Structure 1
Amino acid sequence: MSDYPPEPFTRRRKLTRASDIEIKPVTWMWEDNGAGRIPAGSQVVAAGREGTGKSSFGIWMSAGVTTGTLPGSLLGTPYDVIYVAVEDSWEHTIAGRLKAAGADLDRVWRLDVEVSEDEISTINLPYDFDLLEESITEYGVKLVVLDPLISTIGSSVDTHKERSVRTVLDPLARMADRTGCVMLGIAHFGKAAGTDASSLITGSGAFKNVPRAIFGFAVDPEDGSRVMTQTKNSLGRTDLPSLAYSIESTKVQTTAGGYAEVGKFVFGGEAPRSVEQILASSSSDGDRTQDKLDAVDFLKDALDGAWSKTTDIQEEAKQVHSISERTLNRARKGLAVVAKKFPTGKDGKGEWWLSLPEQSANLPAPEPEGKGATESDSEGKGATPDAVTSEDCQGANQDRVMELWHPGTLAPDPEPIDDSPELVADVVPIKRTRTVKPKCGWCEKAFTPVRQAAYCSKNCRQNANRASKKKTGE
């Protein structure tokens, strides 16, 4: 034996001809009606919102592997499973679910790490890779469930950066390939809306890019049914049907002699709708609800303290706030807005006006168009036609515009048009000009071809409402 320490390994190249690589067929650990869903020796993710049953799917897989009943390459031969549960209790949840699913409990291993003589912790990846692979190899494990996957990743890894997450997932995928063991990670959806289940997984894009198979889980709000859709199948068919499943309540006997009630994952054939369709439906319902709330806020502001002409409300809602007529009508119905006809049109023609129900009884009727101060009224106030100047007309028009202007609409012109039916003596007609750019009544930013009035006002209004609700603690 040499007394000298071994020389440090030096990185060096390794080239292999493609002709020297043995081409092998894909071995499917789980097949469904002859179609491969999970390839052996791969990394897989099961993702969904809370309470959809994705952890129960991991239990179902564990039961099939430990009893040799899972359709696929393991059928007929039972193998061991390692289950790493971080969020659920083994005594009250995991062990009972495994028993209800029919798993061979002698073949299911709970993996923890002793960090000191008095402390036991969950595995920490990538630091505990060697411990995990050693356990897989020693007991011939064919399935490792990490529930949830993100909780087994060490705090030094930034789970929102792909490059950082790949320092864990890439070696985990290589370990799966070396050992022939499937690494099933349970993942949660984030709060963002969307229809692509893979893109909704919390964290960086690596959680959807590295795995060879991804399953999405959802509960259909229309009838409460549960659906599983395979949203990624890198080595097999991408058009596999979605599967319906249920979580059945099952009683299992406890060690103390009593019974515990747990959930059991049961497939129920093909599902009529996919997870994507359910998410799209839920997202659409949420958008419609938010649009109605925005329309309600608009009506409350626009109708506060006065009757408002229906046509004006409809035009402002559509042009300034991008509120459709259908959404506006839904909001009107929800608020029980009062609609009343007044003879305010030309020659006393009737026009429809709106008001809030709690204010309509005390509001004065709107005056007909064109009704205003007469010549005698002006004389009574000490004004004569000869004394009226162009500045007076301009000021009167400006006051009228400011009176009619509401926040959320375009700012009034600094120099409005003098639209009097007759020119007063010695008054020079004022030409309509714009000395300032129109701007949003909420954020006070000038409109541009990119920043359109309707887009800005709607979004600024929503932001202002949200900020107000947040401030008041709603």
Structure 2
Amino acid sequence: ICDPKKSESAIQLMANSICDYDRGEEPEVEEKDVLVWERMSDIDRLETVWLMPGVIPSGLITMFISQEGAGKSSLAAKIAGNVTSGKPFHTAPDVPREPGSVIVFSAEEDKNRSLKYKYDYPEVDQNRIIRIQTVLHKDEDMEFDVEVHTQLLRDLSENIPNIRLVIFDPITSYVTVNENSNRDVRKSLRPLIDYAAEQNVSVLLLTHLNKKVDLGMINRTIGSRAWSAVPRMIWGIEVEKADDDDGNTRETGRRFLLPVKYNICRRPTGLEFSIGDGAGAGEVVWGDHGVVRDIDGDLSDKSRGQINDNFTKALDWVEVRLLGGAVLSETLFAEAKDFGWSKSTMYNVKTKLNIKATNAGQGSRKWFWELRNGKTDAPF
């Protein structure tokens, strides 16, 4: 009721103006972050299933790391051969297996020569070895990128039966992100982690060591530390060295696959193996026994990744020790052991100082070490 009384048209105009009144935007209600949590009692425990018992788990990422030429690729090819043949691995000779297929990414090998040679031996079923050539995108070839193209591996499983192992050699050739960025590397490898778990496939990454010899093996992957954080198992390869008949330090032929990281099991036993002159997988021969050996030798701070000065101390000690003349190498080894320095470290010192080794006598297996241009008391 209006007083004074207004016309119907005036009342309608007033009503319209009220409807058009802008009350402003509704204030936004701030959404708070909420922690998502669960009780440990609600989490199911999964037992580890192994492709190669004690060495390579199924559904997870494993890494082999070493200097170039140590035998990573040949060893991977040997393992692939076991997968395709269905023969039990020597780490569990009584565990029966079914033949499986293997996917191989190889960026550094000549496919017609070195790569073919590694996989060309009687025990391997080459029909089950699938080498990935490239990614075809709109009639153009592209390099495989694990962050972008891992879905294609899932698609491949529809055509390739029973894929059990995927090898990346080296893995750094199949990422396009900044290798030194933890965030980028983890994000890039996430699809590969998911693929391995979903398909129950073992993924084996091969990579080289960086040049920081004063760090533990786990911190010597090329690039970001995320490379060593993602795999559940990491194995390093050590090549044994000794003096030959001419006093030169050479490889003995023995190599060791030694545990570096093992998040899913107790510390595993290392494995000894050797490779023939041709470096083919058919020439990889496993040793008869396990090996208890520390791949980091004298790096007492390896678990924290701190720079260790033991090698520098060993250098200084050997140099001073030999100033008075030549000394039997076995004497040096025994004395060095008291300081906690291994034979491997001593041979590295020998190379660094360019030490001369001379045989103690005809037919003798003893060697004198001496500084070049230094004094000598050796009987020669």
Task: Work out whether the TM-score is over 0.5.
Answer: yes
- Match for 2:258 among 207, 224, 229? 229
- Match for 2:59 among 41, 52, 61? 41
Q: Given the alignment of the two structures, is residue 216 of structure 1 paired with residue 245 of structure 2, yes or no?
A: no
What is the number of residues matched between the two proteins? Answer: 277
Aligned residues of 1:227 and 1:274 also touching (Cα < 8 A): no
- Matched ranges for 1:305-320 at <5 A: none
C-alpha distance in structure 2 between counterparts of 1:119 and 1:289, whole Å: 54
- Matched ranges for 1:423-438 at <5 A: none
CA distance 1:61–1:145, shift in 2 (3 Å): same
Aligned residues of 2:147 and 2:190 also touching (Cα < 8 A): no
- Match for 2:45 among 23, 38, 44? 23
C-alpha distance in structure 1 between counterparts of 2:109 and 2:165, whole Å: 19
1:202 to partner: Cα distance: 0.9
1:138 to partner: Cα distance: 4.2
C-alpha distance in structure 2 between counterparts of 1:195 and 1:266, whole Å: 30
1:150 to partner: Cα distance: 0.6
1:199 to partner: Cα distance: 1.1
1:40 to partner: Cα distance: 1.0
Q: Given the alignment of the two structures, is residue 134 of structure 1 paired with residue 155 of structure 2, yes or no?
A: yes
Give the structure with the higher percent helix. 1
CA distance 1:68–1:275, shift in 2 (3 Å): same
1:133 to partner: Cα distance: 2.3
2:50 alignment partner AA = W
Counterpart for residue 285 of structure 2: 266
Considering only aligned residues, what root-mean-square deviation do their CA atoms show, in Å? 3.8
Counterpart for residue 64 of structure 1: 82
1:98 alignment partner AA = Y
- Matched ranges for 1:56-205 at <5 A: 56-71=74-89, 75-100=96-121, 102-115=123-136, 119-136=140-157, 138-139=159-160, 140-154=162-176, 157-194=177-214, 196-205=216-225
C-alpha distance in structure 1 between counterparts of 2:281 and 2:63, whole Å: 23
2:155 alignment partner AA = E
CA distance 1:334–1:109, shift in 2 (3 Å): closer
CA distance 1:221–1:333, shift in 2 (3 Å): closer
Aligned residues of 1:228 and 1:242 also touching (Cα < 8 A): yes
Rg larger for: 1
1:287 to partner: Cα distance: 6.6
C-alpha distance in structure 1 between counterparts of 2:298 and 2:159, whole Å: 43
Counterpart for residue 271 of structure 2: 243
CA distance 1:186–1:279, shift in 2 (3 Å): farther
C-alpha distance in structure 1 between counterparts of 2:84 and 2:255, whole Å: 25
Calculate the TM-score normalised by the size of structure 1. Answer: 0.51
Q: Structure with the greater relative contact order (CA < 8 A, sep ≥ 6): 1 or 2?
A: 2
- Indicate the SS of the match to 2:147: coil
2:283 alignment partner AA = K
Calculate the TM-score normalised by the size of structure 2. Answer: 0.63
Aligned residues of 1:82 and 1:110 also touching (Cα < 8 A): yes
1:28 alignment partner AA = W
1:45 alignment partner AA = M
1:59 alignment partner AA = A
Aligned residues of 1:137 and 1:179 also touching (Cα < 8 A): no
CA distance 1:59–1:333, shift in 2 (3 Å): closer
CA distance 1:18–1:141, shift in 2 (3 Å): same
1:45 to partner: Cα distance: 0.4
Where in structure 1 are there 5+ consecutive unaligned residues? 1-11, 252-260, 295-326, 338-474
